[in-house]
Structure 1
């Protein structure tokens, strides 16, 4: 009759995220709140994943790992503290994608914001993201200027010295 395939257990994953290193204390609080939430709900968590990175950055390693595992059917449930802890702007898309592969996403804190409040928060997130990028570009630009200044300030070996070396080597 042949061997029956062993059905692998799908995981329950909790995902916690903050935007920057300065928010590490908030990350600890978020994890603690999620522990309480899962305990009260009777959720047996298989994996706790926490990450530092912006909600507009879809190249976060751990976020991508969760998405790939979800698409492979390895995750039954993803638990997040707030919608924006998973991502900004595309939560509804990710929710639909999860449903299509039989995964549920549980949001612990369902805030009901007015459309105006939601728009203001989204705009603030975009402004923050781009101001950080601009700040990063300024630092990068300053770094390039410093390297160029150092290169110019260093004594330049004269062409005649190079010519003398070539003549001596022949």
Structure 2
């Protein structure tokens, strides 16, 4: 009988070793323990799973994703409260949480570790729904492309609340400033970029004052 290490078995199945451990706990795959305590997976078990198209996530399997833009927001507890609301929503709906991922980063940042882990789990078919509080938590721009990719992976995005938090406006302004600074720096250099950023900030402040009737 051919026995495979957890790394070899995971490679054949195209999943992370941690996923194999989780499947074993759920009774979805069997392993043999060597006298040393190491796991070994019979090749027949791997072939069985491959022959049935792989182990698919159950319909109630969900992943939670939360994001705030700044460390200050995270330190104030905004990130944890966001995650707690998502947990409560999942519990109310009767969903089974198989993963929780979060980021402290701008919605413009495409290199977010938490988001990357969500996408990898989706590509491995480990869950069926992604819970987020509102679309901007997933991405400031490009939401439709992420939604399409996740749908291709068999994952549906479920937005738990259409009501944005009070600091959403501040985040949007900061993201706009980042975009303006980036483009103006390319056009006018670093010093010119800072001047344009300052001018844009003053313009936003004037607009906010006008909206409040202060001018």
Q: TM-score range by the shorter chain?
A: 0.5 to 0.7
The alpha-carbon distance between structure 1 residues 121 and 21, as it changes in their structure 2 partners (threshold 3 A), is: closer
Q: Does 1:8 align with 2:52?
A: no
CA change 1:132–1:17 in 2 (3 A) is farther
Q: What TM-score results when the alignment is normalised by the length of structure 1?
A: 0.63
Aligned equivalent of 2:143: 91
- Tell me how far 1:121 sits from its aligned partner: 8.9
Q: CA deviation at 1:61?
A: 1.4
User: C-alpha distance in 1, partners of 2:102/2:163?
Assistant: 21
**Which residue among 72, 93, 98 is the counterpart of 1:22?**
72
**1:1-170 map, 5 Å:** 3-5=47-49, 7-10=54-57, 11-24=61-74, 25-111=77-163, 124=173, 126-130=175-179
Structure 1 residue 73, shift from structure 2 partner: 2.6
- Structure 1 unaligned spans of 5+: 113-119, 139-170
SS at the partner of 1:69? helix
- How many residues of Structure 1 are paired with residues of Structure 2 in the alignment? 128
Bigger Rg, structure 1 or 2: 1
Q: Which has the higher contact order (CA 8 A, sep 6+)?
A: 1
Rounded to whole Å, the distance in 1 between the matches of 2:120 and 2:97 is 18
